Amino acid sequence: MRKRILGVVALSAALVAGAGGLTACGSSDSGSDSKTITYWASNQGSSLQNDKDVLGPELKKFTKQTGIKVKLQVIGWNDLLNKITTATTSGQGPDVVNIGNTWSASLAATGAFVDFDKSHMDKIGGQDKFLATSMSSTGAAGKTTASVPLYGLSYGLFYNKKMFADAGIKNPPASWQELVTDAKKLTKPGGKQYGITLAGASYTENAHFAFIFGQQQGGNFFDKSGKPTFDTPANVKAVQQYTDLISKDKVATPASAEHTTTNDAVEDFTSGKAAMLLGQNNTNTGIEANGMKKSDYAVAPIPILTPLPAGGKKINSHVAGINIAAFKGGNETGAMKFIKFMTSAKEQVILDKAFNALPVTTEAAKDPAFQTPENKMFVDVLANTSAPMPMITDESQFETTVGNAMKDLIAQAATGKTVSAADVKKSLDDAQQKMQSGG
Amino acid sequence: MTATENAVREGRRAGKGSAKTPRRRRVAQNRWLPYLLLAPAIIFELLVHVIPMLTGIGISFLKLNQFFLRNWLEAPFAGLSNYHYAVDVNGSIGKALLWSFVVTIGFTILVVGLSWVLGMFAAVMLQRSFRGRALLRTIFLIPYALPVYAGVIVWKFMLSRDNGMVNHLLAQLHITDGHTFWLIGNNAFASIVVVAVWRLWPFALLTLMAGMQSLPTDVYEAAAVDGAGMWQQFRKLTMPMLRGINQVLILVLFLWTFNDFNVPYTLFSASIPKSADLISIHVYQSSFQNFNFGLGSAMSVLLLLFLLVVTGLYLLFTSRRSRRA
Amino acid sequence: MRESTSFKVIRVVGLTLLTLFTLAPLYVMIVSGLKPLSDVQGAFSWIPSHVTVQPFVDIWHTIPLARYFTNSVIVSLSAAAFSVLIAIFASYAVSRWDFRGKRLFQITVLSTQMFPGILFLLPLYLIFVNIGQATGFALQGSRIGLIITYLTFSLPFSIWMLVSYFDTIPRGLDEAAKVDGAGPMRTLWSVVVPAAKPGIVAVGIYSFMTAWGETLFASVMTNDSSKTLAIGLREYSTQISVYWNQVMAASLVVSVPVVVGFLLLQRYLVQGLTAGAVK
């Protein structure tokens, strides 16, 4: 019996270790074929099919220009990170892949992606063609990055014009305090209408706002050495700035607490339950897909605390967006040509228009398509009042620990318990402990 | 699908081959035939279950995070530190894991108990022929026929606070004001139990129904002649004869429910409420969302050990009882 | 056989409640599948104010539903067929023979049911990749890889359950076949399998459903061409919107063939031991 067990262990070691050994040399789905590349695109359009429809003609153009065929797969956000992780482990990945830009530092740490050093940057047209803020979301400052920006996104305040008019509010709020006052005016007794709606059960959304408001409050979730400092008074205030909307001020739809995606919040907005919504610029697509007319709503920058507390920064968005990266060991030459193509001014204009995204290069940003007041505003936020999420390898832990802690606080508030500063501090403290011991 | 066809053909050939040999070499057949019959099962079990599991156990001793994903064999040996984090109930990770473990135990006991009771009840009720029996039998199996995602997402839709059918119904019946949260807070636990039972009880029904079909009817007739009532027949005949099937069924329901990932993940996405923080999601977050595969594997191994002990005790207990009976 | 009145009352009340519990979500699915998106997003109503069949048309374009459905059917049917076949062999061996290592086999098979999927998702993926690199036949991303995975997922329970079923079949039947000159394999096919038909059908359904609903492994192990319904259906919920009405409509549409399949298998499920033995 013992012999048999030993045999099993030996066999398993051989099978799995073999995989490890082989992957060390790295290879890719497409093999060494220099005439094809595989591309995993993220879901940007109204459906995966819509993504394919938009990308299809552009990929054909690329093939025409370079003779390189592109095998496209559009992967939903549910699966994208898991698929990249398994591809990284096995070394069997696509040549080019889209990633959420907040994953940049984590994924760069795997060493599975081509580093954009000077020579690689030159192959795709040089670093200078990108907007500086967009570049800031590709990795820690001063380090070589493993991805470059592809689609830009930033936050704005969407508001229902009619509801504003009915409540006698002429202009969108100019300060955060004004937003809260307006939201109170817009909240009607009886639970039919609220000032604002949030995606309170989405840990990513929560973490974004903790970060953004943290910047305004003069807080930092990590110190210079990268150690978590979640429970500072400024960060507690930042979290409260968000949770108070549902807890103290009670101006957010109670259902906000169970919204796991922005889509759910958009439904509150388009069905007239809430007058305001904090969303990224591509939220347009969703709002209109739900049947709300363009003329019925407008967008303004998310107002900032006025006056800013000591050390506070004028930040009302994180540098949101999608980056593009190349796996090592595949058709790297083809991959660089493709990334150059996708980030060229011409393609940027076409793709950003189709996906309601913002250009990530200075040249594309000048295109008339992005000079409408609304687009200009989003571009302005992205270029001037946004900051990148912490570019640390454990960024995802930051999002899961802080975001989930906030989700629990919001749920607590919605189910009738008050959320005090002490509660916030305690849960941030807890999140920090998890963050520290998890690494 | 040529490979599948080949495999089918090969399977058939194997079947025929072994059917002919025994006549010639009866002695050899008796020794080797059982192994031959087991061979396919053993090969697949080794490939898909056993070897990956042994690897998983190995990973639990590594500090495997994103830095070593690509060459994970080179990940530094972590000794028992992953286990230390997991069982240190004073630390935040251990405390959260313990809580999740308690929630999962409560969840599992409720879901298995309710599913079995409903399944047994319906199986007994459907044992005798009456009008509409075939229709009901089909209806009851429908939740099981839906892909998990479809079956669970409709519940998520029904349980939503503002637009859900459940609150709508409760308000119409004047039971509540129709503004109850079912997907967050403590109610989330009740919700996931109901949804899991809804998905699982048809399986208990299916298994028990099939088991009851093989019960000889003449025994029931004899019992009826002796004047045994329905309840008596159930207790004295049905239950003892189903003992073997029940033993397996309950254990399997327990193991699935304990490890279930599909239902909680669909109902709550990655944002699981504290009251319903099931362990499978907990481990998933540690491994895949936080890139800490060593810790995730260590947690899994601990669960595996727990389940092994529980199963061992269960089998010991149930077999002894059945021997005594 | 006489049935007391109280038994009948319990039966009617109990089964009615169970029917309501079972069907309520299905009703919601049907009604929501017939509503336009804006109505589905509003407050729930038992009866749609505008009835539209548009969602049933749109489901085919929003995602490649037909392809996902085909993949699911191929994968689930193959996994179920192989799983049942392999389980029949293994269970026959365990039920009818005493041999060295039997206990070890049973314990190992049982304990595989305890593995949390997360523990072996990554290692299994690595093995598939490795086999692919060694043989040039990629298992990851292919339907074959999924079939192998799923058939193994359902094997432990299938074997275990079939051993129980086989054990309930009187050995006398085996002996009678032996007297008639049948070898062990013929006895299996002509005596044991027919007698255990309800159990085999139940196990087959179980294997099919295991493959039909699995999401975690499918999400990592498939690509565009091999994606199954279980994960494909999630694509109605995108970055932009959740097409609730289409999710509901599609769920209904893809479930109809499975329910019809259940219906067709009914008569095997209820065919008793006696019926099998007579044949």
B83-98, pLDDT tens digit by residue? Answer: 888 888 888 888 889 9
CA distance C59 to B296: 38
Does the A155-318+394-438 domain belong in CATH 3.40.190.10? Answer: yes
- The distance from CA C28 to its chain's CA centroid, rounded to whole angstroms, is 24
Contact between C95 and C173 under an 8 Å Cβ cutoff? The reply is no
- The beta-carbon contacts of A176-183 under 8 Å, at least 24 apart in sequence, are A176/A216, A176/A241, A176/A303, A176/A304, A176/A305, A176/A306, A177/A305, A177/A306, A178/A303, A179/A276, A179/A302, A179/A303, A180/A244, A180/A245, A180/A249, A180/A251, A182/A276, A183/A245, A183/A249, A183/A251, A183/A252, A183/A275, A183/A276
Give C 181-210 residues with CB within 8 A of chain B.
183-186, 189, 196, 198-199, 201-202, 205-206, 209
Residues 75-104 of C with CB under 8 A from B: 78, 81-82, 85-87, 89-90, 92-94, 97, 99, 102
Size of interface A-B (CB pairs under 8 A): 121
Q: Is the pLDDT of residue B5 over 90?
A: no
Same fold, A28-153+319-387 and A155-318+394-438: yes
Q: Is C257 on the interface with B (CB under 8 A)?
A: no
Beta bridge partners of C63: none
What would the mean pLDDT of C16-43 be, rounded to a whole number?
A: 91
Q: Can you tell me the distance from the alpha carbon of A1 to that of C100, in angstroms, rounded to the nearest whole number?
A: 10
Q: What does the alpha-carbon distance between residue A45 and residue C277 come to, in Å, rounded to a whole number?
A: 60
A252: tokens are: 């957010």
How do strand A320-326 and strand A96-100 relate by DSSP bridges? antiparallel
**B175: in domain:** yes
Q: Chain B contact for C129, CB < 8 A?
A: no
pLDDT score at B243: 82
Predicted confidence (pLDDT) per residue in C205-241, tens digit: 889 988 998 888 998 888 888 999 988 998 888 877 7
pLDDT in tens, A18-63: 544 444 333 444 444 788 999 999 999 888 888 999 999 999 999 9
Instruction: Check CB contact under 8 Å for A408 and B183.
Output: no
CA–CA dist B149, C123 (Å, integer): 25
Nearest residue of chain C to residue A21 (CA atoms)? C130
Q: Which among A85, A203, A411 is the nearest to B184, CB-wise?
A: A411
Contact yes or no for A270 and C37 at CB 8 A: no
Give the mean model confidence (pLDDT) for residues C40-56. Answer: 88
**Does the structure show a pLDDT above 50 at C101?**
yes
**b/e map of C60-85 (b: 16 or more CB within 10 Å)?**
eebbbbeebbebbbbbbbbbbbbbbb
Please state the rounded mean pLDDT for residues B116-142: 88
Give the pLDDT confidence score for residue B9 in this predicted structure.
Answer: 41
Distances (CA, A) of B64 to A226, B101, B288, B290: 20, 23, 11, 11
Q: Which residues of A touch C140 (CB under 8 A)?
A: 90, 92
Nearest of A29, A19, A431, A26 to residue A203 by alpha carbon: A431
Question: A-chain residues within 8 Å CB-CB of B162?
Answer: 253, 255, 268, 273
Q: Is the peptide bond before C116 cis (omega within 30 degrees of 0)?
A: no
Write down the pLDDT at residue B244.
78
Q: What is the pLDDT of residues A64-97, one digit of tens each?
A: 999 999 999 999 888 898 889 888 888 888 999 9
In 3D space, the residue among B55, B58, B64, B72 whose CA is nearest the CA of residue B287 turns out to be B64
Residue A205 has pLDDT above 70, yes or no: yes
ipTM of this complex: 0.84
Q: Answer yes or no: do B40 and C209 touch at CB < 8 A.
A: no
At what angle are helices B165-172 and B148-159 packed, to 10 degrees? 40
What residue numbers bound the domain in which C104 lies? Answer: 64-236
Q: How far apart are CA A334 and CA A326, in angstroms?
A: 10
User: Contact B161/A261, CB-based, under 8 Å?
Assistant: no
The gap between the terminal CA atoms of chain B, to the nearest Å, is 51
The Cα B87–Cα B302 span in angstroms is 9
Question: Would the CB atoms of A289 and C240 count as touching at under 8 Å?
Answer: yes
Residue C44 lies in a domain: no
Please state, in angstroms and rounded to a whole number, the distance separating the CA atoms of residues A204 and A221: 15
d(CA C263, nearest CA chain B) in Å? 6
Work out the mean pLDDT of chain C and round it to a whole number.
86
Pick C109 or B69 by higher pLDDT.
C109
Contacting residues for A158 by C-beta, under 8 A, at least 6 apart: A269, A276, A277, A278, A279, A283, A287, A297, A298, A299
Contact between B51 and A15 using a beta-carbon 8 Å cutoff: yes
* Structural domain total, chain C: 1
pLDDT tens digits, one per residue of B256-292: 899 888 899 889 877 888 899 999 888 888 887 778 8
Q: Do C213 and B18 touch (CB under 8 A)?
A: no
Q: Is A434 on the interface with B (CB under 8 A)?
A: yes
Secondary element (H or E) of residue A300:
strand A297-300
* pTM for this model (two decimals): 0.86
* SS3 category, A195: strand
Residue B132's domain is classified under what CATH number?
A: 1.10.3720.10
CB A432 within 8 A of CB A232: no
Q: Which residue in this structure is represented by tokens 């807080």? A: A219
> Cα separations (Å) of A76 from A206, A226, A231, C219, C237?
21, 31, 34, 10, 9
Instruction: Out of A47, A91, A261, name the one closest to residue C235 (CB).
Output: A47
Cα separation, C72 vs C97, whole angstroms: 37
Kindly report the CATH number assigned to the domain that includes residue C95: 1.10.3720.10
| Selection from B165, B119, B158, B116 nearest residue B140 by Cα | B119
- Please name the helix (run of DSSP H) or strand (run of DSSP E) that holds residue B111, with its range, or none: helix B92-125
Q: B76: buried, middle or exposed (CB in 10 Å: 19+, 13-18, 0-12)? A: exposed
Closest-CA residue to B262 (of A78, C223, A260): A78
Residue whose pair of structure tokens reads 């530094």 in the numeric block: B76
C231-270, pLDDT tens digit by residue?
899 888 887 778 889 999 999 999 888 888 887 887 776 5
> Is some CB atom of chain C closer than 8 A to the CB atom of B223?
no
CA distance A58 to chain B (A): 32
Residues of B with a Cβ under 8 Å from any A Cβ are 46, 50-52, 54-55, 65-67, 69-73, 85, 91-93, 96, 160-162, 179, 181, 183-186, 268-271, 273-274, 285-286, 288-292, 295
Instruction: Report CB contact under 8 Å: C242, A44.
Output: no
Residue B262 lies in a domain: yes
pLDDT on residue B66: 77
C-alpha distances out from residue A267 to A100, A289, B243, C210, Å: 24, 10, 52, 34
Identify residues of A whose CB sits under 8 angstroms from chain C CBs: 1, 4, 15-16, 18-20, 22-23, 27, 43-49, 73-74, 76-79, 82-83, 86, 89-92, 261, 263-264, 266-267, 270-271, 282, 285-286, 289-291
User: Most C CBs within 10 Å: which of A47, A51, A89, as the mutation test of the C interface?
Assistant: A47
For residue A1, pLDDT beyond 70: no
CB contact under 8 A, C238 and A92: no
- Gap from B268 CA to chain A (nearest CA, Å): 8
- Looking at the complex, report in whole angstroms how far the Cα of residue A165 sits from the nearest Cα belonging to chain B: 25
Q: Which chains touch C (3 or more CB pairs under 8 A)?
A: A, B
Structural domain boundaries of chain A?
28-153+319-387, 155-318+394-438
Return the percentage of chain A with pLDDT > 70, whole number: 92
β-pair type (A27-28, A274-280):
unpaired
pLDDT range class, residue A17, cuts 50, 70, 90: low
**Alpha carbon A403 to its chain's center:** 13
Task: Evaluate if residue B325 carries a pLDDT over 60.
Answer: no
Considering only CB atoms, A83 lies closest to which of C220, C238, C239, namely C220
Which of B30 and A98 is assigned the larger pLDDT? A98
Write down the pLDDT at residue A105: 87
User: C99 vs chain B: nearest CA distance in angstroms?
Assistant: 7
Average pLDDT over chain A, rounded to an integer: 88
Q: Which of B186, B173, B163 lies closest to B277 in space, CA to CA?
A: B186
Nearest to C61 among A15, A27, A49 (CB): A49
Given C144, C151, C215, which is nearest B44 (Cβ)? C151
> Closest to A11 (Cβ–Cβ): which among B51, B69, B179?
B51
Mutate to test the interface with A, among C126, C215, C222 (most CBs of A within 10 A): C126
Q: Would the CB atoms of B51 and A434 count as touching at under 8 Å? A: no
pLDDT band at C56 (very low <50, low <70, confident <90, very high): very high
Position C153, amino acid: F
Facing residue for A49 by CB, picked from C41, C62, C239 = C62
Amino acid identity, position B212: M
Nearest CA in chain C to B269: C234
The residue behind tokens 């159930």 is: B234
CB contact under 8 A, C241 and A27: no
Q: State residue B67's pLDDT score.
A: 78
CB proximity list for C130: less than 8 A, separation 6 or greater = A15, A16, A18, A19, A22
The conformation of residue A136, written as its DSSP 8-state character, comes to G
Which range, of C91-95, C149-153, C158-162, averages the lowest pLDDT? C158-162
Query: Would the CB atoms of C37 and A291 count as touching at under 8 Å?
Result: yes
Q: Which two tokens stand for residue B246?
A: 């029940």
What pLDDT, on the 0 to 100 scale, is given for residue B323? 55
Give the span between the Cα atoms of A399 and A228, in whole angstroms.
12
Which pLDDT does position B8 carry in this prediction?
Answer: 39
Structure tokens given for A275: 């007058």
Residue A156: other Cβ atoms inside 10 A: 25
Is pLDDT at C108 greater than 70 in this prediction?
A: yes
Residue type, A228: P
- Multiple choice CATH, A28-153+319-387, 1.20.1560.10, 3.40.50.720, 3.40.190.10, 3.50.50.60: 3.40.190.10
Q: Is residue B249 part of a domain?
A: yes
The answer to whether C14 contacts B121, with C-beta atoms less than 8 Å apart, is yes
- Our count of domains for chain B comes to 1
Per-residue model confidence (pLDDT) at position A16:
60
- Beta strands of A176-273 (E only): which ranges? 194-197
Residue length, chain B? 325
Would you call B70 exposed, middle or buried from its count of C-beta atoms within 10 A (0-12, 13-18, 19+)? Answer: buried
**In chain A, pLDDT over 90 holds for what percent of residues?**
64
Q: Which pLDDT score is estimated for B90? A: 81
Which range (A307-321, B20-34, B169-183) has the least confidence?
B20-34
Q: Do B245 and C164 touch (CB under 8 A)?
A: yes
Two structure tokens written together for A59: 């990929």
Residue type, C259: V
Q: Please indicate whether residue A20 or residue C190 has the higher confidence score (pLDDT).
A: C190
Which of the listed ranges A109-113, A194-198, B183-187, B214-218 does the model predict with the highest average pLDDT?
Answer: A194-198
Q: Determine the residue among C238, C242, C243 to mutate to test chain A binding: the one whose Cβ has the most chain A Cβ atoms within 10 Å.
A: C238
Gap between the Cα atoms of A266 and A287, Å rounded: 6
CA-based nearest residue in chain C for residue B205: C202
Quick check: C127 and A15 CB within 8 A?
yes
The residue segments making up the domain with residue B301 are 90-324
Cα C98 from Cα A1, distance rounded (Å): 17
pLDDT at residue number A265: 92
To test the contact with chain A by mutation, choose from C239, C243, C247 the residue with the greatest count of A C-beta atoms within 10 A, namely: C239
